[in-house]
Structure 1
Amino acid sequence: MDRPTPTAEILDYIFPIIKESKIKVIIASGSHRKPNECELKVIFGNYYEFFKDKIIFHDAKDERSLKYLGKTKRGTEIFMNKIIFDFDKILVIGSIEPHYFAGFTGGRKAFLPGVSGYKTIEMNHKLALEDGALPLKLRGNPVHEDMEDAINFIDRKNVISFQVIYVPEKGIVDTSCGDIIDSFYTLIPVAEKIFSYKLKEKADILITKATPPLSRTLYQSHKAIENCVQGLKKGGIIILIAECEEGIGGKVFFEHIRSKTPDEVLEEVKSNFKLGFQKSGRFARVLKEYEVFVVSEIEGSLFGKSGIRVYKNVKDAVDDALKIKGSNSKIVYVPHGTEVVIL
């Protein structure tokens, strides 16, 4: 429920076409939990009653539901939910926006991680620690290229992909329908224009704000840092404004932040990678190259040995940043850091 695919709105257009077909709906949640009934009602809107008995929840850890298909060029073992091979046609609904290590959401992500096994997702997400795994980047991005390679294990002729670009304040601003790969790439130039901003000069101090629902935890609002850090000079200070009313979030992420230095996190991530380590590993790299201030209600002691400074208000954070970087520092403010990528 953290990504704004307007499924109910899309169904307004396609429901008359598909309602007479033999339909099952698979929730392509990857390794995430299945949505609850309240969330399903938001997803399906007025169509929930029609679809509620037709819903299948993908469980990445249910090995009995998976089929082994082979290995990608990077060696990722591809296990996918067998049910996708039981139907003549697969209709994929997705939205395209920046993703902090896969380049963009949408398209191929419906299959990997969407309906893939836990081991497959883990092997793919380990690539997030390699160079090139950046928001907006596709060519040379090992995560994206591995996901795209996984599509070769299904018959693309049987897949119809309906992709949209959705902006919360404006609604659906563009659409593309057709081949799972082509419909994705058709929208990328539009998404790049909408979701990115190139600075003339990198900042000494960059202030960014995480917006709901991603502002609930540091685990989620960390996306604002990933999206904006490319606009910061090396050794610069990034100030994240995030309520984090639910705390740090993410069990592994929390333990890494609380009990380890960035160097210790990176050592564990490299020697014993587990799914979820990509988040704390990438954050540890940021902490080694930049100073991170967080304006939040989170208790400062929870940040342990991470080196993160915690403030209760923005003024104090900015005052301290200026003392460190100097009064003539270039400051950039990004009010929607979880929605736009700064270059």
Structure 2
Amino acid sequence: MGNHDKHVKNSYLMDPSMTVIPIGKSHITLSKNFSSEEYIINPRYTPGINLKDNLISSIESPIGCPPLHELLKPNASICLLVEDITRPGPKKEILTILITYLAKHGIKNNNITIIFARGLHRRHSRSEWIQMIGEKIVEQYRVMDHEPHDQSRLIFIGETSRGTPVEINKFVCESDLIIGVSYLGIHDFAGYTGGGKIILPGVASEKAIKKNHILSLDERSLPGIADGNPARMDMEEAAEILGYHFSINVPLNYRGEPVGVFSGHFVKAHRCGVPVTDEMYKIPLKDKAELVIVSAGGFPHDINLYQAERSIRYSSRVLVEGGTLILVADCIDGIGNRDMQKTIKDYRGDPDNIRDELLKDYSIGKWVAWDLLQNSEKYDIFIVSENLDPRVFSQTRIKIFQRIENALKLAYSKHGFSPKYLVIPYGNITLPWVPNCRLYKA
């Protein structure tokens, strides 16, 4: 039914006629039973662009606000917000172009502060700063990580209509001009990355982030949905209260190449870029499937279950009730999050109990576990990995397999040997959806 092809370098450029499931830095090739191209769901390819030309054009002719040079004043303090190491994108190239542009318009080096908008993600090392934006920039400009736990570096400036305290990085609040640079991709519950998200959670307090992220429990906070998404709306309201000035949003194709630049107002420019991301990664389907075989996309997407679970979150939406989902994920680092592991290990069959806990004390790891476990109550979830301990899942309905053949055998026993299937080789970046499905109905 399948074979493990060892020592084959994982690549987004594999022959699309092959039914290939990446796993770690290798891959699994499925049998011809799963070779119909009609049922293999891959991201669409959009060619890359000339970044410099498109970025300059975008900031000179922005969407919904004046050109960037008109916002620059003599001796103005400029805050450049950049996403952290968990987000892809050509950060060094973009900052180099931006800094050159600012210098051309009279902004001096000592008037520029670069802040990594890491939210509650871990701190970076100096070597990681250099890796992301280059040694020259790190040495010549004031560079720092956002500190969400240090109240002395935060300022309270208001509250959103949903009750989220808008506590923002002091340097950001005190800057004359805030420019944010974001990757524009699909996001788990904020709909998309980019736009106002670089403010909240990017440079907000722990308290603000946790309050906002509780909205991830709302059934309207979905991947691939921006307008009407409570989590996204709350983020954008916080950015409005701050007075976020200029947003630069860059969608990337599956090779990591920029395919467009959408600059200007943090909502209007963002929404103009969303259809470009949708065209690549949001794949409409006619019907739901009985069996979905999904890979996170290989390393680093499947470095642990904490990262790879996103593939279940996205692809489960195209499963029929009671269907079977087989996740192929190396998980070389195991589950990868303590809160997630503890929540799974302590599970006693009722995801609503975890939801109640999240409302009292939110953590991302617990939320990822809740999402996984609630899906496991609706679907049969099988995980193919040699690095997960089945004992951790003993109180759940989730089954762990070392080989895909055994997972398929059990799926066949339920659905027969010719189930209605889908294969999704890059599940962490592909959002399949059924247009008439209630969750995604416009």
Question: Which among 156, 159, 162 is matched to residue 74 of structure 1?
Answer: 162
Residue aligned with 1:201, SS: coil
Paired residue for 1:16? 100
CA distance in 2, matches of 1:301, 1:227: 26
Give 1:168 shift. Answer: 4.0
SS in 2 for 1:188: helix
Quote the offset at 1:170 in angstroms: 5.4
Structure 2 residue aligned with 1:38 = 127
Matched, 1:61 2:145: no
In structure 2, the CA distance between the partners of 1:217 and 1:170, relative to structure 1 (3 Å rule), is closer
The match for 2:269 is 183
Say whether 1:230 aligns with 2:317: yes
- Could you tell me which residue of structure 2 aligns to residue 94 of structure 1? 182
After TM superposition, the structure 1 = structure 2 runs for residues 150-229 of structure 1, keeping only pairs within 5 Å, are 150-156=238-244, 159-169=245-255, 171-211=257-297, 212-229=299-316
Q: What residue is the counterpart of 2:385 in the other structure? A: 296
Give the whole-Å Cα distance in 2 for the aligned partners of 1:79 and 1:226: 30
How far apart are the structure 2 equivalents of 1:12 and 1:319?
A: 53
Number of residue pairs aligned between Structure 1 and Structure 2: 339
Determine the C-alpha separation between the residues in 2 that align with 1:155 and 1:181. 12
- Which of 254, 267, 289 is equivalent to 2:353? 267
Structure 2 distance, partners of 1:151, 1:170, is: 27
RMSD of aligned Cα (Å): 1.7
Alignment correspondent of 2:374: 285
> Aligned residue for 2:213?
125
| Partners of 1:203 and 1:168 in 2: CA distance | 25
- Name 2:203's counterpart in structure 1: 115
- How many percent of aligned residue pairs carry the same amino acid? 28
SS at match of 1:124: helix
Displacement of 1:313 in angstroms is: 1.6
What is the TM-score when the length of structure 1 is the normalising length?
0.94
Structure 2 gaps, min length 5: 1-84, 434-442
The offset of 1:119, in angstroms, is 0.8
Equivalent in the alignment of 1:338? 428
How many Å apart are 1:222 and its aligned residue? Answer: 0.5
Q: Which has the larger radius of gyration?
A: 2
Query: Match for residue 344 of structure 2?
Result: 257
Select the structure that is richer in helix. Answer: 1
2:154 and 2:396 mapped to 1: Cα distance?
Answer: 39
Question: Which residue of 2 is the match for residue 85 of structure 1?
Answer: 173
What's the offset of the Cα at 1:48?
4.1
TM-superposition CA deviations, 1:282-329 (whole Å, max 9, x none): 222211111111011212112231221111122221121111122231
Q: Is the 8 A contact 2:217 2:355 kept in 1?
A: no
Q: Secondary structure at the match of 1:172?
A: coil
Shift of 1:46: 5.7
Secondary structure of residue in 2 paired with 1:173: coil
Alignment-mate amino acid for residue 174 of structure 1: G
20-29 or 128-137, which deviates more: 20-29
Say whether the 8 Å CA contact 1:30–1:60 is kept in structure 2. yes
Which segment is superposed worse, 173-182 or 1-10? 1-10
Secondary structure of the residue that 2:233 maps to in structure 1?
A: helix
CA offsets 1:86-107 (integer angstroms, 9 cap, x no match): 2211111101110111100111
1:310 — aligned with what? 400
- Aligned mates of 2:119, 2:204 — CA distance in 1: 6
